[in-house]
Every structure is written in C-alpha cells, then in structure tokens.
Structure 1
Amino acid sequence: MKFTKATNYALHTMFMLVEASPVKPVGVQQLAETQGVSPTYLSKILTKLVKSGLIDSVSGANGGYRLSRKKEEITFLDIIQAIEGSTSLFECNFVHGENCSIQAVMKEAEMKMELHLKNTKLTDLSPMKIRALD
C-alpha cells in the first residue's frame, strides 16, 4: 500500500499551517520552499485542500493559505481523503458475491486503518524541526 507524493506534501503543508499564525496567511512560495517542491505542483494540492474545506485561500498582497477549521478538529483521514478520495483500497475482482473471505479481511484492515487516521489529529504530533514560517 502506498499513498501518493501529493498526500505526503498535503500532510506536511497542513502541519505547517497548524503551526503557523491563525491570522496571517502563509504564501504558496514559502510552503513550497520549505518542502523543496515547485509552487505550481503545491498549488494543485492546495486547491484540493481548499475544495475539501480544510483551508481557505486569501488573495491579495499579503495573501496565502490558512486553516478554515479549528486545528484541533483536523485529522489525518480528512487530509488523506481530500487528496486521495474515499474509495476503497482493495476491490475483489472475482464475481463470487459479497461473501469473499479475502475481501472481508482487506475491508476490516482498511476500516482499522481509517479509524486510526480518523482518531489521529495533526495537533497530536510534536512540532517538527522545520524552518519557521513567521
């Protein structure tokens, strides 16, 4: 199982926004430089996070991005689903009904993982050693 690089960047970006000032938006250039990724690529990720309601885009000379929800409410699952969607990781390709034992094991594992990601918030992590955003 592997999540895309976009999810990796989204999780790190959201953590940076959790650590940033709730009043002053953080620019895409600053977020991109901190992660060593192109601003164009990160902008596509930020657009998904805006559409999912996790962050707001602030336009203007002092514009950028900031959280749109309370930081204590944002879970890993929220961020992952904003980027990856919410489709199942495993789909049985055989036509033998819903009683597939393999499908049952995979769904149970996925449900446990989702529960863990849903119960883990970004604020549960200790601050990372990254360049200050202020």
Structure 2
Amino acid sequence: MKFTKATNYALHTMLTLVTASPAKPIGVQQLAESQGVSPTYLSKILTKLVKAEMIESISGAHGGYRLSQKKDDITFLDIIHAIEGTASLFECNFVHGDECSIQAVMTEAEGKMQSHLRNTKLADLVQKQP
C-alpha cells in the first residue's frame, strides 16, 4: 500500500500552513520551494485542498494560501481524502456470495488505519515539535 506523492506534499503543505500566522497567507512559490516541488504541480494539490474547504486562496500581491478551518480540526484522514479520494484500498474481484472472508480482513485493517488517521490531527505534530 502506498500513498501518492501528492498526499505527501499535501500533508507537508498543510503542516506549514498550520504553523503559519493566519494573518499572512503563504504564496505557492514559497510553499513549493520549501518542498522542492514545482509551483505548477503544487498548485494542483492546493486546488484540491481549497475544494475540500481546508484552505482558502487569497488573491492579490500579498495573497497566497491559509487555513480556512481551525487547525485543531484538521486530521490526517481529511487531507488524505482530499487528495486520494475515499475509495477502499482493497476490493475483492471474485464472487463469493454475500461475504468474502479476505475482503472482511482487509476492510477491518483499513478501518483501523482510518481510525488512527482520523484521530491524529496536524496540530498534534505542532505540539510535539521543540
């Protein structure tokens, strides 16, 4: 199982925005340079985060991006769903009737992972940093 690079960049971008002052939006160029990614690629990721209403885009010379939610409300799972979608990681391709025992194990494992990601907030990381 592997998340895309877009999710990696989204998580790091959101961590940057969580630690930033809400009064001063951060430009895409600065966000991109801090991660060593092209501004064009990061813009596509930022668009998904705006669409998910996690951040907002501020126009103008002093524009950029900032959180649109309280930082204590943003979970890892929210960010992953904004980038990856909400489809299940595993789907059985065989017809077993009502219940596939393999699908049941995979669904349970995914549920546990989602629970952990839902209960882990970006603000938790900020509190752990020195």
Distance 1:93 1:61 in 2: 52
Matched, 1:42 2:39: no
Please give the per-residue CA displacement for 1:14-46, whole angstroms capped at 9, x wherever unaligned. Answer: 000000001110000000000000000000000
Q: How many residues align?
A: 128
Matched, 1:88 2:88: yes
Structure 1: state its 5+ residue gaps.
Answer: 129-134
Distance 1:27 1:97 in 2: 53
1:127 match: 129
**Structure 1 SS opposite 2:25:** coil
Structure 2: which amino acid aligns with 1:14? M
- Shift of residue 99 of structure 1? 1.1
State percent identity of aligned pairs.
Answer: 77
**Structure 1 SS opposite 2:57:** strand
User: What is the TM-score when the length of structure 2 is the normalising length?
Assistant: 0.96
What's the C-alpha RMSD, in Å, of the aligned pairs? 1.0
- Shift of residue 96 of structure 1? 1.4
2:15 match: 15
- Shift of residue 95 of structure 1? 1.1
- Shift of residue 103 of structure 1? 0.1
**Structure 2 SS opposite 1:94:** coil
Distance 2:3 2:102 in 1: 22
